[in-house]
Structure formats: structure tokens, C-alpha cells
Amino acid sequence: MGATLTVGTAQGELPLLGHAMRLRNDPLNFLGSLKDAGDLVRIKLGPQTAYVLCHPDLVQQVLLDERTFDKQGPLWDKLRKFTGDGIGTCPFDRHRRQRRIVQPAFHQRHMRHYSEIMIEEAALVTDSWSDGQTIDILDEMYDITTRVMARTLASTHGGMTATTEVCRAMDVVMAGTYQRATSPLRVLERLPTPGNRRFEDAGKRINAAVDAIIRTYREAAAADQPDQADQLDPADAEGQDWQDILSVMMDGRDDSGHGLTDTELRDQIIILATAGMETTASAISWTFGLLARHPEIERQLHEEVDAVLAGRPATWDDLPKLRLTERVVKEALRLYPPGWLFTRSTTRDTELAGHPLPAGTTIFYSPYILHRRPDLFAEPDRFDPDRWLEDRARDIPRGAYIPFGTGGRKCIGDMFAMIEAPLTVSSIAARWQLVATTANHRPPPPQLALNPRSMPLRLRARQPAH
């Protein structure tokens, strides 16, 4: 953007606590106010000094230099306690190896098969809906994305039941992790409160369920191939008909020919299940909430799905024709990115915006705040899917839109999500209109994913226009 980057300090610091309570209790408003203080803003979390990136150039600099700005900091440290060092949470020195092994499971050649599962599970849930019924859209979308993740991640050898248990328990972990990461008093998380007990119990259930999945898969693999010592390298997997993501990961090998250990497999399953269920359910829920409050855009979307689908569920082959549906989802992700706050930590002495940062400095960045800067997006609070039309989208600065991150640590499931969300939205819109029952959205609660607090919508059956 060419502008001189500025450094500032956040106002409203409290004795001993710093800005921790504002970040904990009202994070969106607090972070949104920081851009007025500078492009790199100093905050205090208890006795610790941290910095918030408020400019896309700084975010790009950090995300594209993984060695200097590693995936560390309070959010990752707390989340890693339960997710382990999976591909979404591991430090830089372990990421390249894991990416090589896990990436083939998300290759485009598998996506058509995954899309069939997405369509089936969306239909299974929505077939139970009735005209005039009021639903909580987030609960319904959780149901769909949990079933999709269970079937695509570990669908054989009883894995689907155990994976569903992981997804359900992770909801408790995700809600509690943000509170722990932003607490200025670490002793609070060790108290035997009901919330802390639920948090610890959820972690134990997750580990037990995932360990059972891996054990069963290992036993099945040994029984099926007792004499085969070597598995296919991911590079040789072209054309193979994999059953699920876990099968691909178990057969994967790194550059030295080694596969993932049981602990590494457990970490992958937990982080993939969490991301695949939580983020997509949130994105679809916000999409329908926004459509319910923008009837003209909703009408245009209904026209598109009627023309393309004529009342039937969407398929893989329909995706290129559902252009408006894709733009609607992209715009919902801009306004309400599920991953809204992240941290990095400097591994060496460095600088940002000309300001020196010692090794071990915690850095925050927020896609939510970046996506709502008026100098990056015209009328940033307006729901405007047509800003993603090609002639308009080219005016959006590089690095301004990062719902899936960027660089070498970009979300490995971004293609998966951008197939599941449009397929689900269009399939539902072909049969149902979702009508708002309240005047406004309630502000989302502060937790790791930017989910709606509650979003009741009334179902209205519809027929395709001819």
C-alpha cells in the first residue's frame, strides 16, 4: 500500500491486568479500536507486553516468514494442550514433514468423493425439517458438518462413531480455550470449578476416542496386509480410491520414508476434526443469517439455485455454475471469519514497522479486524457479495482477505470448506427459505471460533420458480 507504517500503544490499560479483561470480555470492539492507535499496536496482558497487527502489510510479513514468526503464543499454547502438535498447531520445525504426509488427503482428486458425502449428510439433516419450524441454524449446521467430518475423516472400522464423539467434545474445549488464553490469572484454570471439570473431562474423552480409532485402524491394516512392510508414498497415490482421510495419512511417508506415529496421527485427527466441523458450520450459519436480513440478495440467490438445480440438491458438477452462491459465502467469511484471532511468537530478535521486537514477543492478528477496515473494503460493514465480482475484486489489496490465512501455513482444508459451504447453502436454498425471527444478531461470544451466539431462523418451504 506504500504508506509509512506507524507504531502506537492501546489506551485504557488497567493496573496489573493491562488490557486482558477488554480482550477477554469485549474482544471485537477492543481490537477494532486499535487501528486508530497505529498499524502495530502495543498492548499489555497482565505483566506481558504483546503487539497487535492492524495493517495487511504487517500481517503478510509475519505469515510469510514462518521461521521468525512461529505458531506460538497464548492461544496456540492453550489449544495445543488438547490438540497436540497437529498440522494446524505444530511449530515451524515440524510443519513441513506433516504437510507432506497430510496434504494428499486434501488433493483435488478426492474432492468429488468428499462432495458426495457432503450432499448426502446435508440432505439427511434437512429432510427432517418441516414448514414453519424454527431452528437454531448453528445447531443444525453443526449436525451436518460433524457427520461430514466423521465420514470423511474415519468412516470405516467403527471410526465414524468415535469421530463424532471427538467433534462433540471439542465444542467444550474450543469455548474454554479462549477464556484460558486471555486470562491474566493462570491460577484460575486450576481451580476445581464446574467449567474446568467439563474442560478437563472433554479432553480425556477426546484422547480416548481418538486412540480407539487409531488402534482399530492399525489392527485392520495388519490383518489386511500382514506381509506388506511398505505403504504407498503419497506421490504415488494418483488414482487410488481412498476410503477416508485417516487411511491416506496412515499410508503417507515423509522424505525419509517414515510415517506418522500413533501420537502424531492422534494430533492430526483432533485438529482436522475441530477445524472441519467448527469453521464450516459457523460460515454456513452466518451465510443464512445474512441472507435472512438481505432479501434482495436472497432473492437473487434463489433465482440462481432455481435455474441451476430446479429443486434438487447440488452436485460437484454444479459448483462452477453457482457463482453468486460462492460470492455470498466469501462475503460471509469476510464479515464473520470463523478463525478471527491468532497469535505468533518471534523466534529471534527482529523488527516490525521499524520497531524492534525481542525473541519471544507475542503477536496478535485478527482477520475480522482486517476485513472491516474502510481503507481496504468499501463500506466494510455492508453485506455485498458483488464486491467479489472479478472487476471489483481486483481492487482489494493483496493480503486484505485472509479467512484461511496465507503462506506455508495456509489452512490445509480451505478447498474442502469452499466446496462444502456452497454445496450446503445451495442445496438448502433450493428447498427452503430461512426467515429471521429476531431483529438483529446477538453479538458473538468471545471464544476461539467466531460462532453466532444464537441464531433462530424459521423454515419456509419453497418450490423452484419456473
Please give the Cα distance from 268 to 98 (Å, whole number): 9
For the stretch 105-118, pLDDT in tens is 999 889 999 999 99
For the stretch 275-288, pLDDT in tens is 888 889 999 999 99
Closest CA to 174 of 341, 62, 29, 53: 341
- Lowest mean per-residue pLDDT among 219-223, 326-330, 425-429, 434-438: 219-223
Phi–psi pair at 388, nearest 5 degrees: -95, 5
For the stretch 379-420, pLDDT in tens is 999 999 999 999 999 999 988 999 999 999 999 999 999 999
Closest CA to 155 of 204, 202, 188, 114: 114
* HSE, side-chain direction, 13 A CA sphere, residue 109: 13
- Lowest mean per-residue pLDDT among 109-113, 226-230, 449-453, 461-465: 226-230
For the stretch 24-49, pLDDT in tens is 888 999 999 999 999 999 999 888 99
Per-residue pLDDT, 154: 84
pLDDT exceeds cutoff 80 at 364:
yes
Grid cell in block for residue 459? 423454515
Per-residue pLDDT, 200: 77
Closest CA to 448 of 320, 373, 329, 343: 343
Residue bearing the bigger pLDDT, 255 or 447: 255
Rounded average pLDDT over 157-169: 68
Please give the Cα distance from 87 to 77 (Å, whole number): 14
- Lowest mean per-residue pLDDT among 178-192, 269-283, 333-347, 356-370: 178-192
Q: What mean pLDDT value characterizes the chain?
A: 87
pLDDT exceeds cutoff 80 at 163:
no
Per-residue pLDDT, 174: 67
Residue bearing the bigger pLDDT, 24 or 1: 24
For the stretch 348-363, pLDDT in tens is 999 999 999 999 999 9
Grid cell in block for residue 444? 458473538
How does residue 3 score in pLDDT terms, banded at 50, 70 and 90? low
Per-residue pLDDT, 443: 67
Per-residue pLDDT, 236: 43
Per-residue pLDDT, 88: 86
Please give the Cα distance from 83 to 202 (Å, whole number): 12
- Which residue(s) pair with 345 in the sheet? 70, 362
Q: What is the CA radius of gyration of the chain?
A: 22
Residue bearing the bigger pLDDT, 122 or 170: 122
Rounded average pLDDT over 109-132: 95
Per the CB < 8 A criterion, the answer to whether 8 and 18 are in contact is no
Quote the percentage of the chain above a pLDDT of 70.
86
For the stretch 223-277, pLDDT in tens is 776 444 344 444 444 444 556 899 999 999 999 999 999 999 999 988 888 888 8
> Three-class SS of residue 446?
coil
- What dotted CATH number matches 1-84+341-396? 1.10.630.10
Please give the Cα distance from 391 to 386 (Å, whole number): 10
Grid cell in block for residue 342? 491468532
> Three-class SS of residue 352?
strand
Per-residue pLDDT, 242: 52
Per-residue pLDDT, 351: 97
Please give the Cα distance from 14 to 30 (Å, whole number): 14
Per the CB < 8 A criterion, the answer to whether 20 and 183 are in contact is yes
